Amino acid sequence: MNLYHCSIDLKDGTKALAFANAVEIWMGYLQQRGKIQGWRLMRRKLGLAADSCRDFLLEVEVEDLSQLDQAFRTLEEKDEEVERLYSNVNALIAHSEIGLYRPFPDPERAERMALI
């Protein structure tokens, strides 16, 4: 399992619940079509975070890089529904930072470590 990690700040005046709803619809669309394994949206609580931390954290689970590539390719489909769902989320975001994470040690590394 790999985690596509998105740290997000919304545009001024954007309602947090409207953003959460748009994310739920878009991620649900991707998940129902097997483009992602799962997802979760979290919000910083009580302002407890460093200044560099954004307000929202979206984690998208993918089985491997092939599935992540399939999710990205969804945007190339020239489908009006896909464009609308994606735009409903993207239009609300002021700033975002992304990263791709994996469990560590991964099974391959754990096996190599056991052989040493």
pLDDT band with cut points at 50, 70 and 90 for residue 112: low
pLDDT at residue number 48 = 79
Q: Which of 91, 97, 83 is nearest to 13 (CA)?
A: 91
Q: Is 27 exposed, middle or buried (0-12, 13-18, 19+ CB in 10 A)?
A: buried
93-101 sheet: strands from edge to edge: 38-43, 56-62, 2-10, 93-101
Tokens representing 42? 């979290």
Q: Is the pTM of this model over 0.85?
A: yes
Question: pLDDT per residue over 69-93, tens digit each?
Answer: 999 999 898 899 999 999 999 999 9
pLDDT, averaged across the chain: 91
Mean pLDDT of 28-54: 91
First to last CA, the chain: 25
For residue 62, the enclosing domain spans 2-115
Distance (Å, whole) CA 107 – CA 30 = 27
* pLDDT for the residue 49: 78
pLDDT of amino acid 108: 67
Domain count, the chain: 1
Q: Which tokens hold the place of 45? A: 């609580």
25-49: average pLDDT: 94
> Among the ranges 11-15, 42-46, 108-112, which has the highest mean pLDDT value?
11-15
Residue 83: CATH number of its domain: 3.30.70.100
How many residues appear in the chain? 116
